[in-house]
Structure 1
Amino acid sequence: MADQSAARKRQKGLQGQPIQLSLAHQPSNAPLPALGLFPSTQPPAKTPFSLYTPSGDAPSADSRGSRAVLAAETDEIEYESRNHVGNSHDGESEGYAVQYMLGVRNPRTNTLTLHAAPLHTFTPSIKSLKGATAASSESGAALYTAQRAALGSAFGTKKAQAQQRAQERNKLSTSSFGTDAAVAGLQSHLQQTIQAQSGTLPSAQDVEDDANARRPIPPFDPAAEAPGDVYDLDAVVSPAELHALDLGAFISAPDFKERRLLLPYRRSDWVATKLRQLLPARASADGAVPDPSRRDRDRLRLVLHLAHLFAFRQAARPGQVVDRAQLVDKLGRPGGVVVDALLERYTEATRGPGGGDEQRKVTSTMELKLLGYMLVLVLKVDGWTTDVNTIADDLAIGNKRVQELFRSLGCVLTAPSAADREKLVASGRATSAADAAKSKKATLKVPLQFPKERRGRAKK
């Protein structure tokens, strides 16, 4: 009784005196205290908890700033805590989100010892439902796919059912390529094949050069330093074809009207204008016969060849079989070398029904080729600069399309000058200066540059 009375007297004597604070210094291998927060369900009071780091070791006093997990489990529920936020992208270890201190007071000495204790927020998970969340999404997707397939099989169109069967045949699974060693061998083979094939892929410049080489235009020299050296005119029209054209009748004709009647195609204003320029009219019926220079004779042959191309384009319609006899009559019965060259250059050989005799047709590619070759000849006669509107009216395919064809040849389109606009109005090819301003001139420029293909998404 005397000892208890003395203790009570000491406690009463310490009341009202200031409490001394101290920070606990625990050994490095001593376990650390922790605070637990259970937002929902709480485990039984006697449930054992384990505190550990991601490496599996128990946190110590030397690692109180490191990441730690507090976990426990019962027969039905697992408890796992989170006590840290942030990331470790900067190379520093993840720390605790909140730091708490537990104070232990010793009434005998009236001291309060503070112990560091991080707060752990627990998230319970039911063992029987563990993994059901991930499985539910997979099973839901599988159920949706199965239901959609069933509806498609019952009510879908034949096309939809065929697509569905194709998808089922092409569906891949984990065993589609074998297992273990087979998969590893296939992966190694694919990697080696990709590396070997990627080394032989063409560069962007190679692809562009190949695309330019496939254009339906005459053979060209991309390094040409003058417009006259860009295109190979012998490939457009051979010297034999030009010399087969008879210039005598055109030169000796008494007037322009008679000369125009000799043309195989008479509705081209461009051809008519060039005839007037190259062969002036006689002063009288007994006037001297014109004697054009060699250069004008060469240009005249090109103009007559273009007249044959206009007539050929009208006679040989795309997609239709070209009858040689009818073509000869519509071209004004030129030499055989001219007709054969036109058929060889601007038509493709096909077999008749049942594998019969060979037939010649103007395909869509050959039609573009014919237009491209005609525009190159127009540029040649006009000194590599020509009026777009005049030739567009003769071809009757629209001004915009003819401009695109000139661009595909490497031409630059420019608006006419003031003097050119006055000439257009004076010649009647434009009704006003404003109308003349809408016309364009196509000029072949060097170094040769073709338009880039558009890679943007097409507008709907």
Structure 2
Amino acid sequence: MSSSKRKDTEGSKLSLEFAKTDVDAGVEGPYLAVFPGIAPPKETPFNIYKPDHEEPKSKKKRRILEADTGKVEFVGQNFGENARNGFCRYVIAIRDKKTDKITFKDAPVIAVNRTIKSLKNAKVHTSSMDQFLVAKNALGEAFGTKKAKQQIKSVERNAVNVSTLDKDAGILRDTIAAKTSALPSKAEIKAEADEDRPIPPYNLNATKVEEIYNFDDLITPAEYQLIPFKSILNNPNQPITVLPFQGSSYVNDSLMALMSVSKKDRHKIRVLMYISYLMAFRTIPDKKLDDSDTVNRIMGGEVPSLILENFYERFTEMPEDSKKRHTFTPKSKDKLLSWIFVLALTLENFNIDAAVMTRDLSLKQNRVNELWKSLGCKVNELTATQKAQLGPNASTEEGKNLKRAILTAPLTFPLPKRGPRAK
């Protein structure tokens, strides 16, 4: 067994060679460049130079590296004060695929510094006010009182020598310029916020409201076929008893309205059952997500396993540093709520009472309005026609606060808020 293992590991031998011929022939490169702070773009071309004056044989390896991006100059050298000191020798291995020969080449290290061209010739000029203060202090030293002389000396001791800060000022300018250039624009901030939204997949380029949220992304075709809607059809007098979550006025009222007509809308029944599954899943305690007995009891025991598996995949997370397998996070909870809201929008022709889910989900109206807006809805006051349909209820306090959540195309999201959320 051991002999066969040794035989399996044997392969073609590689030929190793140090590129001595290149060194003798004066072939340049490669070089390892070190960029303290910020590095230039990858496509920036660099040139390598030798010092102009004659040098002894011991200094023939001196090189100067240079590049110009238009606004910033990059210059480095492997000798002098700015050279990178070290006791390591670096080489780069290059393999020839045809001959299987590996060639090692010397790779000297060059530290590269940068200079902003617009600030290269900047100088600090002494103002006339500075000259006036110098003359004034001289008079104070010659003819001033003891208290005045002490005050002049105190100011001189605490004065900052600006000339000693010239070098630091250049570093600060470079740092500020680099940091500000790397700051994202408003468009980039908005795009990043849109991408990170805990909402269903959406089509930002949709021209029709029906195309903004694809129904198959909300309920996959496989899930849709597994929804046991016939159990509701078999209980026309008490359809609510079949639902795993029976505390939703929206689902209950909508289901009773569907069962009161002769021709049952099976699509709406499926979607309402799916919403009930989502609402029930939301009530599972975080610590009981991996307790199958608790999950089966809360979900009613009749939810198809594929739907339950997809719920875990979409609306829970599995932290690496936790002993629990699954857990709810604030983001995953918002994602679950957004799924419920978008499904309700599809049933209501994308125009729904903004308060319809407030009591069902035990949320405050301000929080519900934020969720509608995060989906791209506009939360508007009732129109005159809608208020007239309310009749006497329009004058009540509850009627005055009624609003509609309306989804329109093209899809737009609110700009991200700055600062902490108001309490």
Does the alignment reach a TM-score above 0.5?
Answer: yes
1:375 is aligned to 2:341? yes
* Offset at residue 338 of structure 1 (A): 0.9
Residue in 2 aligned with 1:266? Answer: 246
* Offset at residue 137 of structure 1 (A): 5.9
1:404 is aligned to 2:370? yes
Residue in 2 aligned with 1:449? Answer: 412
CA distance, structure 1, for counterparts of residue 334 and residue 245 of structure 2: 20
CA distance, structure 2, for counterparts of residue 244 and residue 381 of structure 1: 19
Contact 2:394 2:400 in 1 (8 A): no
| Structure 2 residue corresponding to 1:311, chosen from 274, 277, 280 | 280
Higher RCO (C-alpha under 8 Å, 6+ residues apart)? 2
* Offset at residue 241 of structure 1 (A): 1.6
| Structure 2 residue corresponding to 1:243, chosen from 211, 225, 235 | 225
CA distance, structure 1, for counterparts of residue 153 and residue 288 of structure 2: 64
1:279 is aligned to 2:242? no
1:350–1:186 Cα change, 3 Å: same
Deviations 1:19-65 (A, max 9, x none): xxxxxxxxxxxxxxxxxxxxxxxxxxxxxxxxxxx9xxxxxxxxxxx
Residue in 1 aligned with 2:205? Answer: 223
Write the mapping of 1:54-203 to structure 2, written as runs, cut at 5 A.
Answer: 78=142, 124-126=143-145, 132-136=150-154, 188=170, 191-192=173-174, 194-196=176-178, 198-203=180-185
* Offset at residue 414 of structure 1 (A): 2.0
1:365 is aligned to 2:384? no
Deviations 1:168-210 (A, max 9, x none): xxxxx99xxxx97xx7766555544554554443221111111
CA distance, structure 1, for counterparts of residue 334 and residue 405 of structure 2: 18
Equivalent residue pairs, number: 289
Quick one: which amino acid aligns to residue 328 of structure 1? N
- For structure 1, the residue ranges without an aligned partner over 5 or more in a row are 1-53, 55-66, 79-123, 143-172, 282-289
* Offset at residue 418 of structure 1 (A): 4.9
Residue in 2 aligned with 1:35? Answer: none
| Structure 1 residue corresponding to 2:308, chosen from 339, 353, 370 | 339
Residue in 2 aligned with 1:324? Answer: 292
CA distance, structure 1, for counterparts of residue 336 and residue 289 of structure 2: 16
Larger Rg: 1
SS class of match (1:260) = helix
1:415–1:306 Cα change, 3 Å: same
Quick one: which amino acid aligns to residue 133 of structure 1? Q
1:191–1:417 Cα change, 3 Å: closer
Deviations 1:265-293 (A, max 9, x none): 11211101221333335xxxxxxxx554x
Contact 2:236 2:259 in 1 (8 A): no
* Offset at residue 367 of structure 1 (A): 1.3
CA distance, structure 1, for counterparts of residue 398 and residue 288 of structure 2: 38
1:265–1:184 Cα change, 3 Å: same
Quick one: which amino acid aligns to residue 240 of structure 1? A
* Offset at residue 223 of structure 1 (A): 2.4
Deviations 1:326-352 (A, max 9, x none): 212321221110111111111111357
CA distance, structure 1, for counterparts of residue 149 and residue 233 of structure 2: 97
Contact 1:224 1:446 in 2 (8 A): yes
Contact 1:223 1:448 in 2 (8 A): yes
Name the TM-score, length of structure 1 as normaliser: 0.54
Name the TM-score, length of structure 2 as normaliser: 0.58
Contact 1:319 1:363 in 2 (8 A): no
- For structure 2, the residue ranges without an aligned partner over 5 or more in a row are 1-127
* Offset at residue 251 of structure 1 (A): 2.0
Aligned residues with identical type, % of pairs: 25
Contact 2:141 2:149 in 1 (8 A): no
| Structure 1 residue corresponding to 2:354, chosen from 385, 388, 399 | 388
Contact 1:220 1:230 in 2 (8 A): yes
Residue in 1 aligned with 2:268? Answer: 299
Quick one: which amino acid aligns to residue 335 of structure 2? K
1:300–1:454 Cα change, 3 Å: same
* Offset at residue 228 of structure 1 (A): 1.7
SS class of match (1:348) = coil
* Offset at residue 322 of structure 1 (A): 4.3
Deviations 1:383-405 (A, max 9, x none): 10111222112112122211121
Contact 2:289 2:326 in 1 (8 A): yes
SS class of match (1:393) = coil
Quick one: which amino acid aligns to residue 361 of structure 2? L
* Offset at residue 308 of structure 1 (A): 0.6
Quick one: which amino acid aligns to residue 301 of structure 1? R
CA distance, structure 2, for counterparts of residue 415 and residue 458 of structure 1: 24
1:364–1:458 Cα change, 3 Å: closer
1:134–1:224 Cα change, 3 Å: farther
Backbone CA RMSD of aligned residues: 3.9
CA distance, structure 1, for counterparts of residue 166 and residue 344 of structure 2: 64
CA distance, structure 1, for counterparts of residue 420 and residue 319 of structure 2: 37
Contact 2:190 2:416 in 1 (8 A): no
Quick one: which amino acid aligns to residue 397 of structure 1? L
Residue in 2 aligned with 1:164? Answer: none
Contact 1:319 1:362 in 2 (8 A): no
Contact 1:352 1:359 in 2 (8 A): no
1:199–1:441 Cα change, 3 Å: same
SS class of match (2:358) = helix
Residue in 1 aligned with 2:236? Answer: 254
